[in-house]
Each structure stands twice: as C-alpha cells, then as structure tokens.
Amino acid sequence: MTHLTPFGKIYGKIANLRNTLYDKGTLKSFAFGAKTISVGNITTGGTGKTPLVAYIASVLAERGEKVCILTRGYGRKNPKKRIVVSDGTDAMISGDEPLELARMLRNKAIIVADADRAAAAKWAKNKFGVTAFILDDGFQHRRAKRDLDVVCIDAANPFGNSKMLPAGILREPLENLRRADTVVLTRANLAEDLDELHQRISTLTPAPIFNCRTRLDRIVSLQDFQNGGEGKELLRTEKVFAFCGLGNPADFFRTIGDRFDLRGTRAFRDHHVYSQTDIEAIENETSAAGAEVLITTGKDAVKLDKTDFRLPCFVSSIEIEIDNEDAFLKML
C-alpha cells in the first residue's frame, strides 16, 4: 500500500455514490434527441480511443447519418467556449484531439468542443440536423443518455495497478464496467495474454468484447499533413527518431520501432504544447542519435503549425482493424 491508496479508496467511494444517484434517478440524465453512442474509458491516459471514434463516425457517415462528435476538447484555452472544429482550427482553441479528428474525418462529421455537451447537442441538432451523436470520452458523463456505451480498454496496459486515482489509473471501480454495452480491447496486437484479459473482463461484465488491432497505415510529411496531402512511405531502412506527447507513448514508439530503424525517442507529457525550443532540442537529440528524420503522431502534428524544422518531419497515420467486424458493425 502506498501513501496514496487511502485517497484512491475515497475517490472510488465518491464515484460509486455519484453513479448510485444517477441509477436511482436523483441525478438526471438527458437525451440528445438523436441516437447517441458513447466511446469512453475506465482509466486515465491513452487507450487508443481517438482512432475508434473516427472509425465509428466514418461508418455512420457512410450509411447516410449526419454525425456530430461531442467533446470537451481537453487542454484548450477556454473550455467553456463552444467551438465547431474544422481542419484549420487552432489546436489551442479547439484542443488537440478534436482537431486531429477533424483532419482524420475531413467533412464526414461535425466536431463540437464544449464543456456542456448536453447544451451543445441541442444546439448542434437544431443547427445542423444531426441524426447521430458520438460522445467522446463519455463513460463517466452520466448526464447524457446514450443508446450504446462503448468502453475502450488498452490491452497492453488494461488497468495499471488496478487502483483508483490518484494511487492508480482507474477513474472508477472496475465493477462499474457492468454499465458497458460493449468493450473494445484496443492495441490487442500488443497484449501479453489476450485470452486471460478476456476472462478477467468477462467476470466484470456480460458485454461482448471485441479485439481492436492497430497498424501503421501511412506516413505523411508534416507539410503534406498540414495541407491535407495523401502521404509518402519511408524506406524501412531509414534511420528515424520518434517524439510525441501522448498518454501512452510506449505503444507509439513500439509501433514505429517495428517498422523502421528507430534510433531514439522523446516523450513529452500528454497534450504537450510545443515551442520552437522543444523542436531544436528534439533535432539535436535526433542528430546525436544518428537519425535522419523525425516521426510524430497526428495529435502532436496539429500543434506544430507555428514551428520550423531543419530536419524532415513525418506524421504517422494509424489504422484500426476490428476482429469480428461484421458483428461490431451490426451492433452500431
């Protein structure tokens, strides 16, 4: 037991009390007036949720739905201000993940960043005629009614030390997974023992479990990424240096290392805002490591518009593959 464990127990009791108040109807949930899918986590940190949100939005858009993604836009300057996020929005105004989604989806979905997602949903439905909402990071957002509750669990690090915040990474006790309608194990290709993880989750919820695997789809030069270009594949033998500011940087570095000659890495805090000094330090480390080019993520790249590079910088594009995809699509 660490000195933070007692605080984690208190946090868990507060989370359970809040859930009980919603379950009993003491605290009210509100319908958004259109079919609503929540995609969320039971842990903090990166779980590979953003590519899944983009995948679901694309599926719904291809079937003729007018899709709106509702997000808080973590890390933006004014979280209370409502922003309709477009490809050219500044990441400091919209948040990095909403802007990454806007560039991934390119007009397939409306992305609205607003701390009050219930009010944002009502506004978006009236303004844009939305027929399907995706609630980004919505598992704990009990104020919103949903038709489907999707919970993402990182198969490479599912529950950390299984302790509540701040002693661990759990946002609420594991038994609350019973609220999930389905569980998606992201980065399933990086799991140590996928069968054992399935068995453990099955003791917590009867919800169907889907494996979601990630792969490096393509590499885009930073300039092409910013201009909406299609991208270029690097040679496998090219010496690269990877950097990112993610909740789970190790998985990104592992993915790059599986494909390229990875000479070094640099991890920043999640949602890091890059300065020119940061870029110069990264490039110095790159040269010292004997690397020739830089690779980063789309989430990081949206915050590099005002920086200059002397070395070539590329942006990775991740694609997901869902096992038993037909069953997952039928559920959607």
Q: Is 90 exposed, middle or buried (0-12, 13-18, 19+ CB in 10 A)?
A: middle
Here the tokens at position 37 are 């899918």
- Kindly compute the dihedral angle of the four CA atoms of residues 27, 28, 29, 30, in this order, to the nearest 10 degrees: -150
74: left (phi over 0), alpha (psi -120 to 50) or beta: beta
- 146-199 residue pLDDT tens: 999 999 999 989 999 999 999 999 999 999 999 999 999 999 988 889 999 999
Whole-number percent of the chain with pLDDT over 70: 96
Q: Taking Cα atoms as reference points, which of 303, 291, 47 lies closest to residue 152?
A: 47
Task: State which amino acid sits at residue 161.
Answer: N
Mean pLDDT computed over every residue of the chain: 92
pLDDT at 234 over 80: no
* Dist CA 249 CA 59 (whole Å): 28
Angle, vertex CA 51, rays to CA 115 and CA 308, nearest 5: 80
* Dist CA 240 CA 235 (whole Å): 10
CATH architecture, domain defined by 27-213+321-331: 3-Layer(aba) Sandwich (3.40)
Model confidence band, residue 242 (pLDDT cutoffs 50, 70, 90): very high
23: left (phi over 0), alpha (psi -120 to 50) or beta: alpha
- How far is residue 213 from each of residues 9, 207, 328, measured CA to CA in Å? 33, 19, 14
Q: Do domains 27-213+321-331 and 216-318 have the same CATH topology?
A: yes
Q: Cis omega before residue 98 (within 30°)?
A: no
Domain boundaries, the chain: 27-213+321-331, 216-318
Q: Taking Cα atoms as reference points, which of 22, 250, 247 lies closest to residue 139?
A: 22
Q: With contact defined as beta carbons under 8 Å apart, do 315 and 242 qualify?
A: no
Q: Taking Cα atoms as reference points, which of 123, 115, 109 lies closest to residue 68?
A: 109
Model confidence band, residue 215 (pLDDT cutoffs 50, 70, 90): confident
CATH architecture, domain defined by 216-318: 3-Layer(aba) Sandwich (3.40)
Model confidence band, residue 62 (pLDDT cutoffs 50, 70, 90): very high
Average pLDDT on 87-93 reads 81
DSSP one-letter code for 271:
T
Model confidence band, residue 25 (pLDDT cutoffs 50, 70, 90): very high
- 248-290 residue pLDDT tens: 898 899 989 988 999 999 999 999 999 999 999 999 999 999 9
